[in-house]
Amino acid sequence: MRFNSKYKTIVRLIGASLIIIGMTLVITSHLESLNIRPENLYDKAQELMIQFLVGSIIAAVGTALIGFTLTGSKYHETKGSIKIRCPHCGYLESEDALFCSRCGRRL
């Protein structure tokens, strides 16, 4: 899926926000689990487990959104791309390059 940079930025901000919200839920569920009283152990533990799972799912969705925006960008190198070797310095360059990015000479 191809996005222009404006939409990628928006999706990344939404993804980062979801990660923050999800991790906040996970951390607060852990902190609240330290204060469970024995008389309401079952009810509270069940509630905190649900909070933990929901927080984990929200954080995973945020991570996936950010990951999808990185696909096809300079941060994501595809497997199986064809490389050519620079005859001057031996650096492996992408097949569509006209100049070597290491030595700067024409390929």
User: For 51-83, what is each residue's pLDDT tens digit?
Assistant: 999 999 999 999 999 988 877 655 555 556 788
What dihedral angle (degrees, nearest 10) is formed by the CA atoms of 37, 41, 47, 48? 60
DSSP state of 32: H
Same domain, 59 and 83: no
Same domain, 43 and 83: no
Domain housing 48: 5-70
Band of residue 94 on the pLDDT scale cut at 50, 70, 90: confident
Same domain, 60 and 38: yes
**Phi, psi dihedrals of residue 58, rounded to the nearest 5°:** -65, -40
Same domain, 47 and 15: yes
Total domains, the chain: 2
- The H-or-E segment that residue 15 falls in is helix 5-33
More confident residue, 5 or 59: 59
Alpha carbon of residue 47 to chain centroid: 28
- What is the distance between the alpha carbons of residues 77 and 1, in angstroms, rounded to a whole number? 16
